[in-house]
Amino acid sequence: MKKYSCETHIGQALDLFVAEQEDFPIMEKINEEENLSTTCEYCEALAIYIVSSK
């Protein structure tokens, strides 16, 4: 499971991940090459972080 998030919604993405997966997430910053068209799952801003499982 992966969630894409902007700076504004990273807290919400982390909270929802823990609630759904009942596990600690890994938060990684998206590099510029991957960030060309990836948007936040909670708004239309460009995603800066990927929240995923181990």
pTM over 0.85: no
Nearest Cα to 12, choosing from 20, 53, 32? 20
Q: How far apart are CA 27 and CA 33, in angstroms?
A: 18
First to last CA, the chain: 10
Each of the 54 residues of the chain gets a pLDDT tens digit; together they read: 899 999 999 999 999 999 999 999 999 999 877 667 889 999 999 999 999 997
Residue 8: which domain range? Answer: 2-52
Contacting residues for 15 by C-beta, under 8 A, at least 6 apart = none
Tokens of 9: 């919604």
Q: How many domains does the chain have?
A: 1
